[in-house]
Chains A and B, each alone.
Chain A
């Protein structure tokens, strides 16, 4: 599964970073970044956390595919 961060929607509220600390860090302005930028590969053990992050994102900036 992969997660995509839509930077045009993201407001950097930080909920996803708390739910996926293994994959996301906060940049200097508070926005989430993955190792590969805005496309993040989600390992199986973090899929449920990724679903939570998508559902709780206040700006619906996260989408999951695959």
Chain B
């Protein structure tokens, strides 16, 4: 069976996955920017935090569209259990399982993010570090599981995302990452 509806589901499933990947990348960049305590490309600090939150929520929406459309897709043969338990999939179980892991981590990070002021900054921060596992796992899932995962156009997007996050991470690890780092370290040698 290959109806127009099936083809639409297939297209939505793939397209929403690619958009989610780009939004997750943007969210990671904004999150690192927010952590630096500096304005990012002219956006004030409090707004960086808010845009980071909103882009993150949009990426979760696209991930939900991605998994739900593929749940009804006859090719992907997804079941509900594959949303939450990795490596049980019928089609490419390993690469699908990476997507499941990334989805689980994204849900946990989003829920604790929304509850940040209730659970406190310490728990929030500890859980939020999982993003550094979630993001690369989702990228590998996209390349390994995606029908277009190894085609040039997607690889260009994936490499741009990787370069952007890699660059931001290098900045994150730089000793002058945090604003006022210099004056503060002079006082506390």
Contact = CB atoms under 8 A, between A and B. Distances in A.
Interface of A: 9, 11-15, 18-19, 28-30, 52-53, 55-56, 58-60
Contacts of A52: 46
Given A55-B117, A60-B117, A60-B120, A29 B183 contact: yes
10 contacts: A13-B179, A15-B46, A28-B183, A29-B180, A30-B179, A30-B180, A30-B184, A56-B49, A58-B121, A60-B121
Q: Which of under 10, 10 to 19, 20 to 34, or 35 or more describes the interface residues of B?
A: 10 to 19
A11 to B, nearest CB: 8
Interface of B: 34, 37, 44-46, 49-50, 117, 120-121, 179-180, 183-184, 187
A26 to B, nearest CB: 9
B183 A14 contact: no
A11 B184 CA distance: 11
A56 B184 contact: no
Contact of B187 (A14, A29, A55): A29
Contacts of A11: 37
B113 to A, nearest CB: 12
Contact of A56 (B37, B50, B180): B50
A12 B183 CA distance: 12
A5 to B, nearest CB: 15
Nearest to A60: B121
A33 to B, nearest CB: 14
